Amino acid sequence: MSLSERVSTLTPSSTLAITAKAKELKAQGFDVVGLGAGEPDFNTPEHIIEAAIKSMHEGQTKYTPAEGILPLREAICQKLLEDNQLKYTPKQIIVCSGAKHALYNIFQVIINPGDEVIIPTPYWVSYPEQVKLAGGHPVYVEGKEENGFKVTPEQIQQAVTSKTKAIIINSPSNPTGSIYDKAELEALAEVCLKNDLFILSDEIYEKLIYGDAEHVSIASLSSELYERTFVVNGMSKPYSMTGWRIGYAAGPEKYIRAMVDLSSHSTSNPTSIAQYGALAALVGTQEPLEMMKKEFAQRRDVTLALLNELPGVSCLEPKGAFYLFPNVSEAVKNSSYSTTDEWVAALLEEEKVALVPGSGFGAPDNIRISYATSLDVLKEGVKRIERFLKK
Ligand SMILES: *Cc1c(COP(=O)(O)O)cnc(C)c1O
């Protein structure tokens, strides 16, 4: 007996692996500084929790349509119109068990064996695995650090072959926090149109943007782009609802309908009560989001300054999301470790600081530090990194 070929090359999520190791050390009684988290540290806002409880008392505890309840899809249409100038009907929306599941479903309905999907690096860890699970091949294009971790249209054009089916754009980015501005998106869009590519636009961090950066959805730039783009978004990051598992995709009806059919035979529907919570998140007060954002902005500024004082460490200013992605290649070179992975493992072992090595994101010179944790923890973390560097 053996595993299917489909799962034989699956690699476990590097972000979850580090979290598991840190938990293990904590359980052994060590004082671990956790900078690996990929989720906001705030609890879900109270009015969202209340809405979910109310829905349970009102009997909304049964199956829902596979694509999600109509009021939620209507609220999503309204959100996309107001925030992104995108006009969709509820038939073009599917609510999934997280944005991750929405992305998974998209790959399942557009990819044939051998199709290629362009993934700019550094990338979110699940993209390549999801492409492979659909029988496709990830093709990596390097978002160079000197270009703010962003790819250029020339690079994309060079990577295109007759098998290229789609490209992923994740702006603001996990892990780098970079944001493509309108002009950059227009230039990339030209290449996508010329080569007839689908665009998967993962916009889950759109609300977590600092300074004067702005979020633009590539789908809003023209009707030709609208017709080939899947806009993916969700509740996890803006509303601190990671455990609720609600995300969504908007796109051309034909493909969304196929995703609904796929869901109907796998997950049936996203959790009913979580959908009512998500509805309250979208239509209710946005004040908790603003508070969370303010807090993230302050943590980003303080930690960024501290990191850039460390010898052998340099960090670009992230414009969005809640991660810092410093380059530690000099620090690693000056240490007794030969790779960033080893350096990160030693940092956890010796100073009990848990963070994620960049290799899992396709950027082996960098590390990811999450600032979805308190300022005290962040300061303590940097202090320990400094001590580690001086050893
Ligand atoms: C967290 C995250 C997701 C998935 O979020 P869900 O919890 O599945 O909604 C998708 N893309 C990126 C870039 C993320 O960081």
The CATH number covering residue 348 comes to 3.90.1150.10
- Given 224, 257, 283, the domain boundary residue is 283
In this structure, are 311 and 267 located in the same domain?
no
The CA-CA-CA angle for residues 72, 246, 322, to 5°, reads 120
- Given 283, 312, 336, the domain boundary residue is 283
pLDDT of residue 37: 83
- Given 254, 283, 312, the domain boundary residue is 283
Query: How many structural domains does the chain have?
Result: 2
Residues of the chain with pLDDT under 50: none
Task: Report how far apart, in Å, the C-alpha atoms of 330 and of each of 57, 123, 312, 334, 378 are.
Answer: 58, 22, 5, 6, 22
In this structure, are 261 and 312 located in the same domain?
no
pLDDT of residue 168: 98
In this structure, are 100 and 185 located in the same domain?
yes
The token pair at 286 is 């946005």
In this structure, are 146 and 227 located in the same domain?
yes
Q: What is the pTM of this model?
A: 0.96
**Residue 52 maps to a domain:** no
In this structure, which residue's CA is closest to atom 13 in ligand 1?
174
Say how many Å lie between the CA of residue 172 and the centre of ligand 1.
Answer: 12
In this structure, are 71 and 203 located in the same domain?
yes
pLDDT of residue 12: 74
Say how many Å lie between the CA of residue 267 and the centre of ligand 1.
Answer: 18
pLDDT of residue 126: 94
Say how many Å lie between the CA of residue 101 and the centre of ligand 1.
Answer: 9
Ligand 1 pocket by Cβ (under 6 Å): 38, 98-100, 124, 170, 174, 202, 204, 234, 236-237, 242, 247
**Residue 53 maps to a domain:** no
In this structure, are 269 and 295 located in the same domain?
no
**Residue 55 maps to a domain:** no
**Own/partner long-range contacts of 136-144 (Cβ < 8 Å, ≥24 apart):** 136/107, 136/111, 136/112, 136/165, 137/163, 139/164, 140/362, 143/176, 143/178
In this structure, are 76 and 36 located in the same domain?
no
pLDDT of residue 104: 98
CATH number of the domain that residue 153 is part of? 3.40.640.10
Tell me the CA end-to-end span of the chain in Å, nearest whole number.
Answer: 49
Parent domain of 194: 60-283
In this structure, are 184 and 73 located in the same domain?
yes
